[in-house]
Each structure stands twice: as C-alpha cells, then as structure tokens.
C-alpha cells in the first residue's frame, strides 16, 4: 500500500522517536542532493563568496537533475476503477460527490493542452446540464491538478457539495456530460 499520499496515523506518530528522527535528518543533511538559489538585494560576487564559504565546505554530492530521486517520484496507479464512499454524521444533511480520472503531467505538453480544451468543453456542458437545467449544484466545473513532484499522478476532478437524495441524479448527469462520440466529439442529448 502506498503510504506517501496518506496522513500519518496517531499510532505512527507515537511510534516516532527522537533518535530515529535525528538519524533521518542527519542522513539527509550529509548525503541528500542540495540545490541552492540565492535571491534578494545582494551583489552576485558577495553571494558567490558566501555560498562558497558556507556550502563549499560540504562534501561533494551528485548534481541535481531529472534523475535525482526519480524512484521516489513515481506512484504506481491502481488497476481498475477507484470507488470510495464514506458517511459522516452532521447536523445538516449533505453529500459531496467527487468524480475524476488520471490525467496528463505538465511535461506531456500535447496531452495537457488537449485536456485543457476538453475541460473547457466539459465546463460548458456541466454548467448547462447539471447547474442550469437540473439545478443540482450552484458552482461546477472541471479542475486539472498536475502533481508538482510525483510523476504520472495528475488528475482531473470536480468535488461537489450536494444534498444526499440527489447524489444518483448527479452521477447520471455527470456521465452524460462526459460521454462523447469518438468520431464526432458530440455528446448525446440530455
């Protein structure tokens, strides 16, 4: 099970010890790649002198590049569909529906541009059908979320607050909005 995308549990936090945390930090300080950027109102020569003095004394390390920590920047996608349902007791009955799919990373320029165009089309469909015609939600629209550091984990999704009795109706409308003919690109009539 992939743990990097999940919050620590209380049990995991209690299991942490100061010596283990200190050893982890010491290993990073002595061995991990270092990338330095100097910004601000400082002359280049002065900045270079200070960086050389304080960071130049560190042992040599491999240069930071696109392969640096590459094994930590990938999360295997789970096979098949992901479906999660949770119930929480609250004073005002509400439901939140989130629907989405894995998308393109920013480095995949062509796919990113195609998804941006698809998002514009989908936004219009969602507003006309789900918001205006059926009045299931007030605010709606697709959202692309490219990951900053984990490759192949971008997503396109839209969370929506909803009253519980209308969840199924929303799901039907979402499927109709996202369905299109591969040849014509036109959606089925609602």
* Domain extent listing, the chain: 10-65, 95-178
pLDDT classification of 106: cutoffs 50, 70, 90: confident
Token digits of residue 156 = 């396109």
**What is the model's pLDDT at position 159?**
53
Predicted TM-score (pTM) of the model is 0.49
Tens of pLDDT, residue by residue over 120-134, are: 888 888 888 877 887
CATH of the domain spanning 95-178: 3.30.830.10
Which has the higher per-residue pLDDT, 152 or 127? 127
Tens of pLDDT, residue by residue over 22-69, are: 999 999 888 888 888 899 999 999 999 999 998 888 888 888 887 887
**What is the model's pLDDT at position 50?**
93
- Average pLDDT across the chain, whole number: 77
pLDDT classification of 173: cutoffs 50, 70, 90: low
Q: Taking 60 as the threshold, does the pLDDT of residue 105 lie above it?
A: yes
pLDDT classification of 188: cutoffs 50, 70, 90: very low
**What is the model's pLDDT at position 10?**
93
Query: By C-alpha distance, which of 71, 69, 36 is closest to 54?
Result: 36
């Amino acid at each position: 099970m992939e743990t990097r995308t999940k919050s620590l549990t209380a049990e995991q936090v209690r299991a942490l010890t100061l010596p283990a945390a200190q050893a982890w930090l010491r290993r990073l300080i002595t061995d991990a790649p270092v990338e330095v950027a100097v910004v601000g109102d400082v002359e280049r020569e002065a900045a270079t002198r200070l960086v050389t003095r304080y960071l130049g004394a560190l042992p040599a390390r491999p240069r930071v590049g696109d392969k640096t920590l590459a094994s930590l920047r990938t999360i295997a996608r789970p096979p098949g569909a992901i479906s999660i349902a949770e119930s929480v007791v609250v004073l005002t009955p509400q439901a939140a529906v989130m629907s989405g799919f894995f998308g393109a990373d920013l480095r995949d320029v062509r796919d990113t541009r195609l998804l941006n165009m698809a998002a514009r089309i989908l936004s219009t469909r969602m507003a006309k059908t789900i918001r205006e015609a059926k009045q299931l939600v007030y605010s709606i629209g697709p959202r692309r979320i490219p990951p900053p550091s984990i490759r192949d984990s971008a997503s396109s999704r839209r969370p929506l607050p909803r009253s519980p009795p209308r969840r199924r109706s929303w799901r039907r409308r979402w499927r109709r909005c996202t369905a299109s003919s591969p040849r014509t690109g036109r959606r089925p009539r609602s």
